[in-house]
Amino acid sequence: MSAALSGAVDLSGLKARAEAAQQQPAGAPAGTAATPAAGGAAVIDVSEATFQAEVVDRSMHTLVVVDLWAEWCGPCKQLSPLLEKLAAEANGAWVLAKIDVDANPRISQLFGVQSIPTVVAIAGGQPVHAFSGAQPEPQIRQWLDSLLDELRDKLPGISAAEQAGAADVEEEQEDPRFTEAEDALERGDYAAAEAAYERILDAEPVNEQAKAALVQVRFAARASKADPSAVSRAEAAPEDLDAQLAAADVEVAQQRVEDAFARLVAAVRRTSGEDRNRVREHLVGLFDLFDPADERVLKARRDLASALF
């Protein structure tokens, strides 16, 4: 998922522009002058004018994760809220810098962005890792954990934030059963995480948190084995049910949720008997990954009912 970028991009190219923008007189157009966020902010909006202070300078102390997005980008609308949630949970161990590529084209050009969303990790004033496209939460957590482990001894802000976070956690009583499952998930050991959540449900069949987590883990395990070429195979062979189911998993993992749902609804329309039931069950299982009130789920449920009846 990630790519090393150390030394590949010179971020100093925006420094002069940023300094000039900061010296603009009062009354300059909104968004042209630097407006540094509060020091404790987990998520900050960054422009070309504030890039030097909020990204480059800040990265000398702690990890800055840059989210390059645009309003028209569908996958961005799935990835950005997830990154914001993870940043809020990080207790300051890293900061999320959101950059609208349409409003800040020079930054996009600086990174050589080919597609969005693109996420770039900045440390010590330089990019160190990056990935493009929406990714499942377990993979992003694993990517961040790996970065923090790699940079902990190099950036003092990471250790300080983690120590503060650990002190806060000690005030709360953690459930060791969930800790076991989450640790396994962070290691990428889906089987162990699944077994841990199943043990919780064996003892507490109505534990909604464990139920939801188990659904997510099972999908993550399945998606991690999916062949990325499944989508092209499915397009070439609409009658191949295995390819259609695998392609839907790949699309959901890539945050192309509407595409996955539409694919399986179309497969339901084309099939009958046991084949139709197999597709329906797979689609309903994908619904369980999302909030029941999610508009995409509600629409797909209506489409499925129309296809069935």
* Residues acting as catalytic residues: 73, 76
Query: What single string gives the DSSP state of each residue in 197-224?
Result: HHHHHHH-TT-HHHHHHHHHHHHHHHHH
Maximum Cα–Cα distance for the chain, whole Å? 72
Which 3 state secondary structure label does DSSP give 68? strand
Contact 217, 243 (CB under 8 A): no
Closest residue by Cα to residue 47 from 31, 59, 63 = 31
User: What does the block give as tokens for 233?
Assistant: 């195979």
Which 3 state secondary structure label does DSSP give 44? strand
Angle at 101 between CA 85 and CA 111, to 5 degrees: 95
Closest residue by Cα to residue 2 from 130, 122, 98, 116 = 130
Query: What single string gives the DSSP state of each residue in 91-116?
Result: TTSEEEEEEETTT-HHHHHHHT--SS
- Amino acid identity, residue 56? V
Residue appearing with tokens 């070309």? 48
As to burial, measured by CB atoms within 10 angstroms (0-12 exposed, 13-18 middle, 19+ buried), residue 263 is buried
